[in-house]
Amino acid sequence: MSRVITALSVSADGFITGRDPRPGHGLGDGGVLFDWYTSGDVASGLFPGFTLTAASARFFDAVGGRVGASLAGHTTYSDSEDFAGGAPHPTAPLVVLSHHDLAPASERQHIVTTGLADAVSLAKRLAGDKDVALMGGVITTEALKAGLVDELVLHVVPVLLGAGRRYFHELPEHVGLDIVQVVPAPDVTHIHYEVRR
């Protein structure tokens, strides 16, 4: 059965972008969050051009191999310049949740304007027996509020960005987490949590 996960790079102070993220400027000044994608000598088996440390490659490819569809909000989609007509995952389709009608940039993209539950439902259908990966802090927070998230993966980069967009926004109550795995690497620590029900 398809699960809903989120697996994003995050600074030690909780930001998934730097200052001034916007279309044409991507993550703002937060590009350091992805330096670990190319800091090693082990090629990713899933993402062409990624050369990770051995510890990161094993963990990253294991999580990435589970993804059958990605789900992003409109802001993440716009700031990523429509993912150049593709998707953040090399093989999985992309579902975009938007408050406004917009044309998908390719057949790999699907636009949903009828709410989060419908977007997750479509992403699960597209994912088949694989998982749905959430992209972005607001969509992750809203999915947590709705009880739709099964697992969280934080790729914690040892930097304090000081500003940007947060991974997690205000929640109405505590969300309990169980640690599944912690994988330290030279330039990132991968923390995998199960959401406690």
Phi, psi for 112 (deg, rounded to 5): -120, 130
pTM equals 0.94
End-to-end Cα spacing for the chain: 17
Residue at token pair 């991974």:
167
How confident is the model over 50-60, as pLDDT tens digits?
999 999 999 99
- The three-state secondary structure class of 67 is strand
pLDDT of 195 reads 98
Q: Which contacts (CB < 8 Å, 24+ apart) does range 61-64 have?
A: 63/5, 63/7, 63/153, 63/192, 64/7, 64/89
Query: Alpha-carbon torsion 185, 187, 191, 192, what sign?
Result: negative
* Cα–Cα distance measured from residue 116 to residue 143, given in angstroms and rounded to the nearest whole number: 7
Q: Provide the pLDDT for residue 104.
A: 81
Three-class DSSP category at 136: coil
Residue ranges of the domains in the chain? Answer: 4-195
> Do residues 185 and 60 touch, judged by C-beta distance below 8 A?
no
pLDDT in tens, 28-85: 889 999 999 999 999 999 999 999 999 999 999 999 999 999 999 888 877 776 676 6
Question: Shortest CA distance to 55 belongs to which of 180, 188, 151, 157?
Answer: 188
- The confidence score (pLDDT) of residue 81 equals 67
Q: What pLDDT tens digit does each residue of the chain (197 aa) get?
A: 899 999 999 999 999 999 988 888 778 889 999 999 999 999 999 999 999 999 999 999 999 999 999 999 888 877 776 676 667 888 899 999 999 888 887 888 999 999 999 999 999 999 999 999 999 999 999 999 999 999 999 999 999 999 999 999 999 999 999 999 999 999 999 999 999 98
Assess contact for 26 and 88: CB atoms under 8 A. no
The class (CATH top level) of 4-195 is alpha beta
Q: What is the pLDDT of residue 112?
A: 95
- So what's the pLDDT on residue 82? 62
